[in-house]
Amino acid sequence: PSRCPKCDHPIRVRDNIPLLSYLLLGGTCRDCGERISSRYPLVEFITAVFALLLFGKYGMTPAYPVVFLFICTLIVITFIDLDHQIIPHILTLGGIPIFAVSAVLFLGLTVVDAFLGIMIGAGTLYFVAVYYEAITGREGMGGGDVNLLAMLGGFLGWKALLFILLVSSLLGAIVGILLILGKGKDMRYAVPFGPFLCVTAVIHLFLGDFLDGIFFSLGI
């Protein structure tokens, strides 16, 4: 159950209404009066926005709760990776079969596309991780990222992986360079890759057909 991160007191039901309770309490705990991080309403707001966007895209169809659960999983993964630079296996390894089967049953993805998405997604980053470590002697890609890309491929199909890999790598490189220049970090500074994979996966979810058409028409 939800608890105050400061005093550990259980949150009352009336104080646990997304967004509204935070505003009514002025961003503080009713029991100890300490400030509660603005991350809580931020995550609630992001989730609410996607709930509305997905409803507009899918309506009240069986696909709606499936895709919403997928988005919620990516939100959780993003914030955990930003904080701790890990991606829990329970989310990705559990998500691979759940989301792949759901995509086949409710989103029209073929079994072949889902299977290839899992295999290519896992194999691509695993190949990068092994050779990067062999060349540099340092781990550059964690197993969580490998599992995450496999999950994304299983849900969105193998064609989505091209866009996800290219754009997430570009975004990661830009952010990494900005951190190096702005905060004086060196080239060994670790930037979590999971959030970039999640962001580009969400973009592809909404614009997939358009993006795939552009990429494959260019012969990329």
Span 122-143, average pLDDT: 68
pLDDT band at 182 (very low <50, low <70, confident <90, very high): confident
Q: How many CB atoms lie within 10 A of CB 167?
A: 18
Rounded to whole angstroms, how far apart are CA atoms 60 and 178? 42
Classify 170 as helix, strand or coil.
helix
Amino acid residing at 79: F
pLDDT value of residue 129: 65
Q: Secondary structure of 134-169 in the HEC alphabet?
A: HHHCCCCCCHHHHHHHHHHHHHHCCCHHHHHHHHHH
- How is the chain split among helix, strand and coil, in percent rounded to 5? 70, 0, 25
Classify 110 as helix, strand or coil.
coil
Question: How would you class 44 by CB atoms within 10 Å of its CB: exposed for 0-12, middle for 13-18, buried for 19 or more?
Answer: middle
Find the range with the poorest average confidence among 5-14, 69-78, 98-107: 5-14
pLDDT band at 185 (very low <50, low <70, confident <90, very high): low
Structure tokens at 167: 């754009």
- φ, ψ dihedrals at 78, nearest 5°: -60, -50
Instruction: Tell me if 156 sits within 8 A of 201, measured CB to CB.
Output: yes
Amino acid residing at 100: A
pLDDT value of residue 179: 79
Span 141-153, average pLDDT: 87
Per-residue CA distances from 220 to 2, 65, 162, 174, 214 (Å): 47, 33, 8, 21, 9
pLDDT at 68 over 70: yes
Amino acid residing at 162: L
Half-sphere exposure of 63 (CA within 13 A, CB side): 16
Identify the residue with better confidence: 176 or 163: 163
Q: What is the pLDDT of residues 14-41, one digit of tens each?
A: 888 999 999 999 999 999 989 989 999 9
Q: How far is CA 151 from the centre of its chain?
A: 10
Span 189-207, average pLDDT: 89
Q: What is the pLDDT of residues 109-126, one digit of tens each?
A: 999 999 999 999 888 877
Question: Whole-model pTM?
Answer: 0.86
Residues 6 or more apart whose CB falls under 8 angstroms from that of 176 comprise: 189, 191
Span 99-108, average pLDDT: 96
Q: Name which of 3, 73, 66 is nearest 31 in CA terms.
A: 3
pLDDT at 151 over 70: yes
pLDDT value of residue 135: 65
